Amino acid sequence: MISRAFRGFAPAVVVGVGGLAFWELSLLIIDPEGFVLPPPSSILAAFNENFEEIWVASMNTGFIVVTGLIGGVVLGVVWALLVSRFRLANETLTPLAISLNAIPIIALAPIFNAWYGLLSPVSNQAIVVILVFFPVFINTTKGLTDVGATEIELMRSYAASSWQVTRTVRFPNAMPYFFTSLKIASSLAVIGAIVAEYFGGRQDALGPLIVQNAGLTRYAEAWAAVLAGSVMGILLYLVSGAFERVSMPWRRDAETIGA
Amino acid sequence: MQWGKNKGLTRWLVLLAVFAMVVAACSSSDDDASGELTPVKLQLQWFTQAQFAGYFAAVDQGFYEGVGLDVTILEGGVDIVPATVLDSGAADFAISWVPRGLVPREEGLNITNIAQVFQRSATLQVSFADSGIDGVGDLAGKTVGNWGFGNEFELLAGLRSAGLDPATDVSLVQQQFDMLALISGDIDAAQAMIYNEYAQVLETINPATGNLYQPSDLSIINWNAVGTAMLQDAIWADADKLESDSAYRETAVKFVEASLRGWAFCRDEFDKCADIVLAAGPTLGESHQRWQLNEINNLIWPSPQGAGTMDAALWNQTVTVATSEGILSAAPTDGAYVSDIVSEALASLEADGVDMIGNGWEAKTIELKEGGE
């Protein structure tokens, strides 16, 4: 039991530690000053030294990430439900979603700052919502609509109502798609929040911390803030994975790799 | 051997011959100083504007050519860090504010300040006169904009000197490089350079009056008066190269000499200099560039010890603010600035009869037009 869990973790740990060791040692050989790309040791040192600052910044950015993620997910799911149920909705909302997704953040961020105010969290949350909703929408729609014809025919033979079909067939079918999109969305949320911060607003957030330190050639401190952002992304990914496992108990043994 | 039949060998010999010719052609075209200008690249700290007029004038008026240099000016920008460009060798000299040169220097880039062109700081904190912000202490509880990127240290030190904690007593806001946030009311006090963003407010129509904003509508905090001002535009060079490469050091002296001659030109031939800047394609228009040139001249002249000479008191103040703010972990090591290069340059300029002190400079009154046109 324990050895099985260990076998699950061990490769990841080995690769991770090995990679860090390689990074540290190769820099010792190539560039002892560790200027542009500092070795992991100095990044961790900078992380420790500036922990207070990084913690406060992570909390501020994290708030935007989580609230934006939730907002985007809700929007994406609702949009997907409408589109999968009503053909008219599909014809109008899907193109709208695609065009919204095509607008780059660089264009939207200053506009939102002007609309909602520089210090208002809404301007950054809006960026995150827009980034997150699209993958959730697309994947969930596919999950809701790409159902086997056999299952639908079976339900029809039971004289099931439309809602019953949705509840018993479409939702379970959509869940793997939804959770996959949630995992994608969580990293997009972190990226979106950090980039949106670059365009103005409070300075005690991860975006300014990274960019300003880099601008002052304080690369170890910049990487330390990047590390905080990565940790945030990983945590969200793990939480999504946990939700997935909890809500789909029947799929626990369904993943087969290299079988 | 049989040339015709052995195609492989023939091919190799032909390639070798071509290669040899190319190498010979390349190596014969450079070096040999007689008649050839030394190419020099200068990295500016910001976009093309009157802030760098002296260098543009030196190019336009042939001052660099006169000392044997062919100078290419590299425009700066938000994400361009002059110190890194200099250190990497992509530029031979760079214009940078002193703190923005000292921090990379502490991180390991061996660069040095060879001429302190701007003798005074130009940073202001600007608010509307009716906001009640007349002094640093009045910033408590307000939203205070600043640009970050190493531009905010005078503000932070100024706040502390008034007994305020920048983290808790004010709301620091990341400001874009314009004054829109102040004008829209998003922030109470905005960071501005007296030669740039301050003028941008004065080029905007006041909706209440229908005319341009006037200086009387604004309240400014000047860090020179507060005592936390830090030195700004200076010419930086690669310290390792200065020591190891005597040709580079010679180039540095000539570069400083011609640059300072350019700045003297911009003081004495104001209108011509303004036109040179406009010809270089700045973003903002004529009246803005003339205002800027006027204010820049105020920052350089008079230079009591000669333009480009380091004001020791202000250097110490800069270092004190930097270390007390934690920008630098310790005072800079020796060699952060050198005086010998600028002394040599000044000596030859004075021998040439060029006024390097500028006591005669009188600030002009520039009329701004809407949008800086």
How confident is the model at residue B25, as a pLDDT?
Answer: 58
Per-residue confidence band for B128, with pLDDT thresholds at 50, 70 and 90: very high
Domain assignment of residue B21, yes or no = no
Contacts of A197 in chain B (CB under 8 A): 174
Chain A residues with beta carbon closer than 8 angstroms to that of B184: 114
Beta bridge partners of B96: B234
What is the rounded distance in angstroms from the CA atom of residue B11 to the CA atom of residue B28? 26
| B11 occurs within a structural domain | no
Answer yes or no: is B373 within a domain.
no
**Contact between A35 and B108 (Cβ < 8 Å):** yes
Tell me if B1 is assigned to some domain: no
Rounded to an integer, the average pLDDT of B103-108 is 91
Would you place residue B31 in the very low, low, confident or very high pLDDT band (cuts 50, 70, 90)?
very low
**B79·A114 Cβ contact <8 A:** no
B213 and B238 share a domain?
no
A218 contact B CB<8A: yes
Burial of A172 (0-12, 13-18, 19+ CB in 10 A): middle
Residue B127 has pLDDT above 80, yes or no: yes
- B152-186 tens-digit pLDDT: 999 999 999 999 999 889 999 988 888 988 998 88
Can you give the residue range of the structural domain that contains B237?
Answer: 38-120+230-362
Distances (CA, A) of B158 to A107, B123, B139, B144, B322: 35, 12, 10, 12, 12
Instruction: Answer yes or no: do B350 and B243 share one domain.
Output: yes
Enumerate the residues of chain A whose CB falls inside 8 A of the CB of residue B186.
Answer: 117-119
- DSSP string over B88-101: HTS-SEEEE-HHHH
Contacts of A114 in chain B (CB under 8 A): 180, 184
Judged by CB atoms closer than 8 Å, whether chains meet at A200 and B176 is answered as yes
User: Chain B residue closest to A205 (CA)?
Assistant: B174
* pTM score: 0.82
Looking at the structure of chain B, the number of domains it has is: 2
Last residue of a domain, one of B199, B226, B253: B226
Which tens digits make up the pLDDT trace of B270-301? 999 999 999 999 999 999 999 999 999 999 99
- The token pair at B142 is 């307000």
DSSP 3-state of B357 = coil
Q: How far apart are CA B174 and CA A118, in angstroms?
A: 9
Q: Do B252 and B274 belong to one domain?
A: yes
User: What's the pLDDT score for residue A26?
Assistant: 83
Tell me whether strands B93-96 and B38-43 are parallel, antiparallel or unpaired: parallel
b/e A112-146 (16+ beta carbons within 10 angstroms → b): bbeeebbbebebbbbbbbbbbbbbbbbbbbbbbee
- CA torsion, ordered A26, A32, A35, A39, to nearest 10 deg: 50
B181–A215: do the CB atoms touch at under 8 Å?
no
Q: What's the rounded Cα separation, in Å, for the pair B26 and B11? A: 23
Please check whether residue A35 is in contact with residue A93, taking contact to mean a CB–CB distance below 8 angstroms: no
Q: What is the DSSP pairing of strand B123-128 with strand B218-222?
A: antiparallel
| B104, B148, B181 ranked by CB distance to A203: nearest | B148
- Outline where DSSP puts E strands in chain A: 201-202
Question: Which residues in A186-241 belong to E strands, given as ranges?
Answer: 201-202
Residue type, A192: G
Same domain membership, residue B136 and residue B103:
no
Contact B186 A216 (CB under 8 A): no
Residues B207, B290: one domain?
Answer: no
Q: Among residues B217, B221, B180, which one has the least CA distance to residue B197?
A: B180
A215 touches chain B (CB under 8 A): yes
The answer to whether the CB of B252 falls within 8 A of the CB of B166 is no
Alpha carbon distance B224, B126 (integer Å): 14
Given B198, B226, B254, the domain boundary residue is: B226
Q: Which of A110, A119, A215 sits opposite B149 (nearest CB)?
A: A215
- Mean pLDDT, range B1-28, rounded to an integer: 67
User: Could you tell me if B81 lies within 8 Å of chain A, comparing CB atoms?
Assistant: yes
Which pLDDT does position A38 carry in this prediction? 86
Contact at 8 Å (CB) between B362 and B270? no
- Report the distance separating Cα B258 and Cα B251, nearest Å: 10
A124 to chain B, closest Cα gap in Å: 13
Convert the pLDDT of each residue in A62-76 to its tens digit.
Answer: 999 999 999 999 999
Q: Is the pLDDT of residue B310 over 60?
A: yes
Note the pLDDT tens digit of each residue in B214-252: 999 999 999 999 999 999 999 999 999 999 999 999 999
Contact B142, B133 (CB under 8 A): yes
Is the domain of B332 the same as that of B283? Answer: yes
Give, as one character, the DSSP assignment of residue A168.
I
Q: What is the CATH number of the domain that holds B266?
A: 3.40.190.10
Cβ neighbourhood burial of B83 (10 Å; 0-12, 13-18, 19+): buried
Answer with the one of B226, B242, B270 that is the final residue of a domain.
Answer: B226
| A42 SS3 class | helix
Q: Which of residues 91-130 of B touch A (CB under 8 A)?
A: 100, 103-104, 107-109
B251 and B357, same domain (yes or no): yes
Domains (range + CATH), chain A: 39-249 (1.10.3720.10)
CB contact under 8 A, A118 and B186: yes
Structural contact between residues A93 and A79, judged by C-beta atoms closer than 8 angstroms: yes
Alpha helix ranges (H) inside chain B: 7-29, 53-60, 63-66, 82-88, 98-107, 153-161, 180-183, 197-202, 223-226, 239-244, 246-268, 270-279, 286-300, 312-324, 340-351
> Average pLDDT, whole number, for chain B?
91
B15 in a structural domain: no
Asked if B107's CB is within 8 angstroms of A110's CB, the reply is no
Helix H or strand E encompassing B1: none
Q: What is the pLDDT of residue A86?
A: 85
Give, rounded to a whole angstrom, the gap between the first and last alpha carbons of chain A. 20
Please indicate, yes or no, whether residues B273 and B159 belong to a single structural domain of this protein. Answer: no
* pLDDT tens sequence for chain A (259 residues): 556 666 777 888 888 889 888 888 887 777 655 566 788 988 999 999 999 999 999 999 999 999 999 999 999 999 999 988 888 888 888 898 898 889 887 788 888 988 888 888 999 999 999 999 999 999 999 999 999 889 889 998 999 888 888 888 899 999 999 999 999 999 999 999 999 998 888 888 999 999 889 888 889 999 999 999 999 999 999 999 999 989 887 766 555 565 5
- Asked whether residue B196 falls in the same domain as residue B94, the answer is no
pLDDT band for position B30 (cuts 50, 70, 90): very low
Tell which of B174, B230, B325, B329 to mutate to test the A interface (max A CBs under 10 Å). Answer: B174
Q: Which of B107, B146, B150 sits opposite A215 (nearest CB)?
A: B150
Q: For residue B140, give every residue at least 6 positions away whose Cβ sits within 8 Å of its Cβ, in sequence order, or none.
A: B164, B169, B170
Do B242 and B340 touch, CB atoms closer than 8 A? no
Using CB atoms, which residue from B79, B107, B175 is nearest to A218? Answer: B107
Asked if the Cβ–Cβ distance from A218 to B108 is below 8 Å, we say: no
- Whether residue B69 sits in one domain with residue B49: yes
B181 and A202 within 8 Å at the Cβ level: the answer is no
Q: State the pLDDT at residue A201.
A: 85
How much is the average pLDDT of B192-209? 94
B113 and B157 in one domain?
Answer: no
Give the pLDDT of residue B153.
92
Strands B123-128, B143-146: pairing is unpaired
pLDDT digit string, tens, across residues B53-99: 999 999 999 999 999 999 999 999 988 999 999 999 999 999 999 99
**What tens digit of pLDDT does each residue of B32-57 get?**
445 689 999 999 999 999 999 999 99
Q: Write down the pLDDT at residue A187.
A: 92
Distance separating alpha carbons of residues A241 and B130, to the nearest angstrom: 55
pLDDT at B2 exceeding the cut of 60: no
Task: Quote the pLDDT of residue B32.
Answer: 45
Residue B173 phi, psi (nearest 5): -120, 135
Q: How far is it, in rounded angstroms, from Cα A125 to Cα A63?
A: 9
Is any Cβ of chain B less than 8 angstroms from the Cβ of A118?
A: yes
Select from B81, B173, B180 the Cβ nearest to the Cβ of A201: B173
C-alpha B334: how far from chain center: 22
> Which residue among A204, A208, A218 sits closest to B103, beta carbon to beta carbon?
A218
| Residue from the list B150, B172, B176 with its beta carbon closest to the beta carbon of A216 | B150
What is the structure's pLDDT at B266? Answer: 96
> For residue range A5-39, what is the model confidence (pLDDT) as tens digits?
667 778 888 888 898 888 888 877 776 555 667 88
> Does any domain span residue B175?
yes
